C-alpha cells in the first residue's frame, strides 16, 4: 500500500508540478537568479466586484487543489483571450462579437499560480517582479497581502522573503500560492490618461482591454543589488566615445558594504576586443547612484540601416562582496548621438517653435516612417514575439527607417525595441499614451502621470533605436485649457529629458486652433488627414499640393483587408454586399467608394474582389503620390509618418499590413515611394484631356550619403493596352548624397488616341547601367476641373447623411433598412446598403 501511495504521489508531482527540482540558478554563478512564472499553469476565476475577498479567494491554502479547476489562463496575456480560449466568450475579433463580451469588463478576475520553492534563501533577497499589469491589481502570496498597483506600463515588485514556503523534500511544505486580483478596468480614460492605453478611437469599439500583460518573475539576489543600469554614452570631437555606466544600486542591509564592480564591455553583433574594468565602492544602506566611465578609442557607432550599420555593444556587470556574488546585470546599447536642427525655409519663433530635423551622429536622418498602430493585437494574449519580429522586418522591407508610436498606443515591449535596434529602425515615440486632452488637474494625479512616464523612459533609454520623444498626440486639440495643457506637456518633457538626452516635442500636430491659443505657431507640423475627413473637398493631388510643413507626423488613407483576411473576421452572409460587421470594423463605405472614384474614375464595386483590391490600390496610389510630393520638399520637410503601418484588430481602416500580418497591395506602393534613392515624377493633376500635352518634372531624391556618378534616366509613356507612345532618355550627371533635385521638364503630345488610362514608367541608372531606382504611375483621361466639381457635389450628399445620423462611430446609416429609413423593419442583421449603390446578392 505504501508503494502504491508513493507511485500516486509521483504521478501527482509530475502532473501538477509539485516537485520542481529547483527555483533558480545557483547564487554562486555570475548571473542574476531569475525564475519565470510565465506560462499556461495559471488559473482564473470571475467574481462580482468586492466578492473575491469576502469569499476568501486570497486565503486559499497553498497546498490546496481548488484553483486547479478554475479556467485555464496564460501569463503574459489578457482576460478576454483567456476567456475566449476557455470557451467562455466568442472570438471578440469576429463579426460583432466584441459587443457580446462587454460584460467581462464589469467583473473582477482572480488569477492563481502554484509553484514550489526547494532551495534556501538565507542571506538573499527574493522579490516577485511584475513587469506590467493592465490596469489595477492586488497581490497575495500564501494568504499574505503584498500590495496594490495601478498603471499599465510601469513594473513593480514585492519582497517575499518572509512569506515564501520552502522545503527541499516535502512538496506540500514547499508549495506556494500566488494570487492576483484584477480590478474591473477603469471606464473613463480621462481619469487614467497617461497610465493606460486609450481603448477608444476610430479603429476599436468599447471593449476595454485588461490583464496581466507582461511577465512575472521571481528574482533572487544578494543583499546588495542593481535597480537600474543606464549606459549613457557620449561621442567626443576626436572620434572617441565615453560610456558612462550609471548604476542605481540598493543595499537592503543595515550596514555599509564594500562592493566590487566587475565589468566587461564588447561588441554584441560585431567583433571587438573586450574591455574589462573593475572598481570598488562603499554602498551605504538604501539606494544610491554609482557611475563608472569607460573610454573607447575607436567606437563602432549605431546607425539607422540606410546610413550605416546598427552596431550594438553589451556590458556585463557583476556585483561582488569578497568572493560572494550579490547580483549581475547585462545591458545592450548602441553608441549614437541624436540632435535636432531647425528646418530651412521656416522662421524660428514665427512659423515654428521647435527644430524638427533629426541628425544621427551628425548626419541628417530623413524620416521615412509609419505610425505603428500597435500593439499587434489590442488583446496582448494573442500576440507572439515572432509576430513582432516579422512586422518590424516588413517595415524595413517597405524601406522605412523609422516607426512612430503615438499617443493612442502604449509604449512597446522590450523586444520591439530590441528588434528595431538590431534591424536599424529608429523609433519616434510618445512616451506615454495621452491621446486625449482631458487629463486630471489635481497635482497628485499629475505626479502619477509623470512618475509613470519616468519609469517608461528609464526602461527603454538604453535602446539606440529610440531617437525622438513626444509628449502628446492631438492632446491640445481636445484640451479645455490650452495654457494648462501646454504647461503640463512642457513639464512632462523636462521630466523625460532628465533621464534621456533626446529631442522632445510636446504634442502633435500643434497646428490646431487650441494649440495656437496656447502659443504655438502655424507651421509646427501637419496631420495630413483632411482629405479623408473632408472627403470630396479636393481630389487627392489637389489637396496634398496645398501642404507645406516641416514634418508630417500623420498621413492617413484607408483601405479594406484582402478577401482572404476578410473571411477570417466577417461572417459569410455579410461579406458581399457589405453587412453590418463591415461598419462595426470601421469600414466607411461612402469614403471608400469616393476614394476609389477619385483614383480610378469608378467606384469599382462590381464584385467583392474588385472593390477590395481597388481600395488597397487607391490607398497605395494616394500614399505614393503624397509621399513623393513631401519627399521632394527635402530638406525643408524632414520626415513623414503614414497613418498607419498596422492596426491592433482586424479593421477596415488605416493599416498597410492587416491584423493577420498580410501586407495589403498598398504596401508595395509605399515600398516604391520610400526607396532611399528615388526617381520621382512631379505632376500637378491626374486627369488629362486627349488634346493636352502631358507635362511633368523628373526629380531624384537621395536619402543615402552616397553620390551616384554619371547617372541617366529613361521615361516611357504607354497607352491603355501597354503600347509605348513615347520613350526618351536623359543624362542626369551626378546625383549627390542627401539631396532632392529637379533634373528635367517633361512635355509629351501623345494622348490623342488614349481612351481611358495611360501609364508612365521612369528608371534611373548609374554609369555602369545598373538600375538605381524604378518608378511608375497611371493617369486618367478626363476633365480635372469637372471631376473636382462632381466630387464636391458628392461631398454635400455625404455631409447631409452624416449630419443626420452622426459621423464618428456611426455606421447604421450605410444600411437603409437598419437605419430606420424603411420603418426600422429588417429581416436579418446582414442588411444590404442598397441606398449606397452596392449591387444586391
pLDDT per position as a tens digit, 197-218: 988 878 788 899 999 999 999 9
Whether residue 777 is found in the same domain as residue 824? no
Whether residue 178 is found in the same domain as residue 239? no
In a domain, 407, yes or no: no
Interhelix angle 589-600/608-631, rounded to 10 degrees, is 70
Mean pLDDT of 753-768: 96
604 near 838, Cβ under 8 Å? Answer: no
Whether residue 719 is found in the same domain as residue 746? yes
Mean pLDDT of 129-146: 98
Q: Kindly tell me if the per-residue pLDDT of 243 is higher than 50.
A: yes
Question: What percentage of residues in the chain have a pLDDT greater than 90?
Answer: 84
634 vs 11, 475, 542, 746, 762, CA distance in Å? 69, 28, 20, 21, 21
In 10 A of CB 720, how many CB atoms? 14
Of the residues 740, 762, 784, which one is the last residue of a structural domain? Answer: 784
In a domain, 730, yes or no: yes
Query: What value does the mean pLDDT of the chain take?
Result: 92
Give the 3-state secondary structure of residue 328: strand
- Least confident stretch, 24-28, 558-562, 634-638, 704-708: 24-28
Mean pLDDT of 259-265: 96
Whether residue 286 is found in the same domain as residue 179? no
pLDDT of residue 32: 59
Of the residues 759, 784, 809, which one is the last residue of a structural domain? Answer: 784
Q: Which residues contact 688 (CB under 8 A, 6 or more apart)?
A: 694, 751, 758, 779, 780, 781, 782, 784
Mean pLDDT of 100-123: 95
Whether residue 115 is found in the same domain as residue 262? no
In 10 A of CB 564, how many CB atoms? 11
For the beta sheet containing 257-267, the strands, ordered from the edge strand earlier in sequence to the opposite edge, are 275-283, 257-267, 313-321, 324-333
Whether residue 111 is found in the same domain as residue 237? no
Per-residue confidence band for 840, with pLDDT thresholds at 50, 70 and 90: low
In a domain, 804, yes or no: yes
| Total-model pTM | 0.93
Whether residue 191 is found in the same domain as residue 311? no
Of the residues 209, 235, 262, which one is the last residue of a structural domain? Answer: 209
Closest by alpha carbon to 111, among 38, 180, 187, 206?
Answer: 180
In a domain, 253, yes or no: yes
In 10 A of CB 662, how many CB atoms? 14
Residue found under cell 515624377: 681
At residue 619, φ and ψ (nearest 5 deg) are -55, -45
Whether residue 79 is found in the same domain as residue 128? yes
C-alpha cell at 749: 503630345
Domain CATH for 245 = 2.60.40.10
Whether residue 84 is found in the same domain as residue 205? yes
Task: Calculate ∠ Cα 802-803-805, nearest 5°.
Answer: 60
In a domain, 418, yes or no: no
Instruction: Give tens-digit pLDDT for 306-331.
Output: 999 999 999 999 999 998 999 999 99
Per-residue confidence band for 802, with pLDDT thresholds at 50, 70 and 90: confident
Q: Kindly tell me if the per-residue pLDDT of 178 is higher than 60.
A: yes
What is the residue-wise DSSP string for 475-533?
HHHH-S-HHHHHHHHHHHHHHHHTT----EE--S---SHHHHHTT--TTS--EE-HHHH
Structural domain boundaries, residue 167: 2-209
Whether residue 110 is found in the same domain as residue 193? yes
In a domain, 61, yes or no: yes
206 near 102, Cβ under 8 Å? Answer: yes
Q: Kindly tell me if the per-residue pLDDT of 822 is higher than 80.
A: no
Domain CATH for 50 = 2.60.120.260
632 near 680, Cβ under 8 Å? Answer: yes
Mean pLDDT of 629-645: 97
Whether residue 763 is found in the same domain as residue 799? no
At residue 429, φ and ψ (nearest 5 deg) are -140, 135
Instruction: Give tens-digit pLDDT for 557-599.
Output: 999 999 999 999 999 999 998 999 999 999 999 999 999 999 9
pLDDT of residue 834: 52
Higher-confidence residue of 100 and 24: namely: 100
Rounded-to-integer distance, Cα 485 and Cα 375, Å: 27
Q: What is the biggest distance separating any 2 CA atoms in the chain, rounded to whole angstroms? A: 102
Give the 3-state secondary structure of residue 268: coil
Per-residue confidence band for 19, with pLDDT thresholds at 50, 70 and 90: very low
Rounded-to-integer distance, Cα 407 and Cα 392, Å: 19
Rounded-to-integer distance, Cα 643 and Cα 656, Å: 9
Whether residue 54 is found in the same domain as residue 190? yes
In a domain, 297, yes or no: yes
Closest by alpha carbon to 701, among 676, 729, 683?
Answer: 676
Mean pLDDT of 673-688: 98
C-alpha cell at 85: 480560449
Task: Report the number of distinct structural domains present in the chain.
Answer: 4
Higher-confidence residue of 4 and 307: namely: 307
Q: Kindly tell me if the per-residue pLDDT of 403 is higher than 60.
A: yes
In 10 A of CB 382, how many CB atoms? 22
What is the residue-wise DSSP string for 433-481?
---SS----SHHHHHHHHHHHHHHHHHHTT-TTEEEEE--SSHHHH-S-
In a domain, 702, yes or no: yes
Amino acid at each position: 500500500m505504501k508503494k502504491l501511495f508513493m507511485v500516486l504521489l509521483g504521478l501527482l508531482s509530475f502532473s501538477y508540478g509539485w516537485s520542481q527540482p529547483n527555483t533558480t540558478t545557483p547564487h554562486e554563478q555570475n548571473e542574476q537568479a531569475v525564475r519565470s512564472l510565465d506560462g499556461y499553469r495559471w488559473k482564473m476565476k470571475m467574481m462580482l466586484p468586492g466578492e473575491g475577498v469576502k469569499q476568501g479567494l486570497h486565503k486559499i491554502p497553498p497546498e490546496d487543489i481548488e484553483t486547479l479547476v478554475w479556467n485555464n489562463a496564460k501569463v503574459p496575456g489578457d482576460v478576454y483571450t483567456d476567456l475566449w480560449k476557455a470557451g467562455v466568450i466568442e472570438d471578440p475579433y469576429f463579426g460583432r462579437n466584441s459587443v457580446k463580451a462587454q460584460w467581462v469588463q464589469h467583473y473582477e478576475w482572480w488569477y492563481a499560480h502554484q509553484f514550489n520553492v526547494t532551495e534556501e534563501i538565507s542571506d538573499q533577497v527574493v522579490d516577485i517582479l511584475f513587469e506590467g499589469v493592465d490596469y489595477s491589481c492586488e497581490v497575495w502570496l500564501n494568504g499574505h497581502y503584498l500590495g496594490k498597483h495601478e498603471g499599465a506600463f510601469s513594473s513593480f515588485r514585492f519582497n517575499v522573503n518572509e512569506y515564501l514556503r520552502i522545503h527541499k523534500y516535502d512538496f506540500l511544505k514547499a508549495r506556494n500560492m500566488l494570487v492576483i486580483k484584477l480590478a474591473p478596468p477603469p471606464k473613463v480614460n480621462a481619469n487614467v490618461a497617461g497610465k493606460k492605453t486609450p481603448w477608444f478611437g476610430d479603429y476599436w469599439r468599447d471593449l476595454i482591454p485588461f490583464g496581466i500583460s507582461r511577465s512575472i518573475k521571481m528574482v533572487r539576489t544578494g543583499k546588495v543589488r542593481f535597480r537600474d543600469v543606464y549606459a549613457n554614452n557620449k561621442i567626443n570631437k576626436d572620434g572617441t566615445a565615453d560610456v558612462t555606466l550609471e548604476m542605481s544600486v540598493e543595499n537592503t542591509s543595515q550596514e555599509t558594504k564594500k562592493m566590487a564592480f566587475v565589468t566587461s564591455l564588447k561588441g554584441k553583433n560585431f567583433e571587438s576586443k573586450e574591455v574589462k574594468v573593475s572598481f570598488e565602492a562603499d554602498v551605504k544602506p538604501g539606494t544610491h547612484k554609482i557611475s563608472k566611465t569607460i573610454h573607447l578609442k575607436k567606437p563602432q557607432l549605431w546607425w539607422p540601416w540606410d546610413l550605416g550599420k546598427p552596431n550594438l555593444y553589451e556590458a556585463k556587470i557583476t556585483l561582488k562582496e569578497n568572493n560572494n556574488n550579490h547580483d549581475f546585470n547585462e545591458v545592450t546599447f548602441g553608441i549614437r548621438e541624436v540632435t535636432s536642427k531647425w528646418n530651412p525655409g521656416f522662421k524660428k519663433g514665427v512659423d515654428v517653435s521647435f527644430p524638427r530635423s533629426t541628425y544621427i551622429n551628425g548626419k541628417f536622418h530623413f524620416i521615412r516612417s509609419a505610425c505603428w498602430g500597435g500593439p499587434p493585437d489590442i488583446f496582448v494574449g494573442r500576440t507572439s514575439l515572432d509576430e513582432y519580429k516579422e512586422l518590424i522586418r516588413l517595415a524595413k522591407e517597405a524601406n522605412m527607417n523609422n516607426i512612430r508610436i503615438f499617443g493612442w498606443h502604449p509604449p512597446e515591449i522590450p523586444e520591439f525595441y530590441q528588434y528595431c535596434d538590431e534591424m536599424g529602425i529608429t523609433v519616434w515615440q510618445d512616451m506615454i499614451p495621452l491621446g486625449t486632452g482631458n487629463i486630471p488637474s489635481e497635482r497628485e494625479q499629475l505626479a502619477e502621470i509623470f512618475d509613470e512616464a519616468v519609469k517608461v523612459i528609464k526602461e527603454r533609454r538604453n535602446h539606440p533605436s529610440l531617437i525622438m520623444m513626444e509628449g502628446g498626440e492631438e492632446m491640445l486639440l481636445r484640451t479645455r485649457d490650452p495654457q494648462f495643457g501646454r504647461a503640463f506637456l512642457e513639464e512632462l518633457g523636462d521630466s523625460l529629458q532628465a533621464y534621456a538626452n533626446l529631442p522632445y516635442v510636446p504634442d502633435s500636430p500643434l497646428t490646431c486652433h487650441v494649440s495656437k491659443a496656447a502659443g504655438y505657431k502655424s507651421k509646427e507640423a501637419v496631420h495630413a488627414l483632411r482629405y479623408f475627413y473632408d472627403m470630396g473637398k479636393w481630389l487627392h493631388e489637389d489637396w496634398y499640393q496645398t501642404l507645406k510643413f516641416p514634418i508630417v507626423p500623420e498621413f492617413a488613407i484607408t483601405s479594406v483587408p484582402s478577401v482572404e483576411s476578410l473571411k477570417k473576421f466577417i461572417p459569410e452572409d455579410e461579406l458581399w454586399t457589405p453587412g453590418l460587421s463591415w461598419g462595426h470594423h470601421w469600414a466607411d463605405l461612402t469614403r471608400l467608394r469616393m476614394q476609389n472614384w477619385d483614383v480610378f474614375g469608378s467606384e469599382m464595386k462590381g464584385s467583392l474582389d474588385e472593390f477590395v483590391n481597388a481600395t488597397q490600390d487607391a490607398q497605395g496610389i494616394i500614399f505614393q503620390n503624397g509621399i513623393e510630393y513631401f519627399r521632394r520638399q527635402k530638406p525643408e520637410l524632414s520626415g513623414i509618418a503614414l497613418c498607419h503601418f498596422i492596426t491592433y484588430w482586424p479593421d477596415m481602416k488605416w493599416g498597410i499590413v492587416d491584423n493577420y500580418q498580410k501586407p495589403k497591395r498598398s504596401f508595395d506602393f509605399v515600398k516604391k515611394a520610400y526607396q532611399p534613392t528615388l526617381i520621382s515624377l512631379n505632376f500637378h493633376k491626374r486627369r488629362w484631356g486627349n488634346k493636352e500635352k502631358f507635362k511633368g518634372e523628373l526629380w531624384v531624391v537621395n536619402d543615402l550619403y552616397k553620390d551616384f556618378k554619371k547617372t541617366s534616366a529613361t521615361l516611357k509613356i504607354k497607352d491603355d493596352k501597354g503600347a509605348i507612345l513615347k520613350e526618351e532618355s536623359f543624362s542626369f550627371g551626378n546625383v549627390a548624397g542627401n539631396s532632392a533635385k529637379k533634373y528635367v521638364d517633361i512635355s509629351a503630345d501623345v494622348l490623342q488616341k488614349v481612351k481611358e488610362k495611360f501609364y508612365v514608367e521612369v528608371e534611373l541608372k548609374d554609369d555602369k547601367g545598373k538600375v538605381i531606382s524604378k518608378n511608375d504611375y497611371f493617369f486618367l483621361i478626363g476633365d480635372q476641373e469637372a471631376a473636382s466639381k462632381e466630387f464636391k457635389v458628392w461631398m454635400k450628399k455625404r455631409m447631409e447623411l452624416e449630419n443626420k445620423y452622426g459621423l464618428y462611430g456611426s455606421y447604421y446609416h450605410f444600411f437603409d433598412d437598419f437605419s430606420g429609413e424603411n420603418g426600422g423593419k429588417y429581416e436579418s442583421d446582414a442588411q444590404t446598403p442598397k441606398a449606397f449603390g452596392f449591387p444586391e446578392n
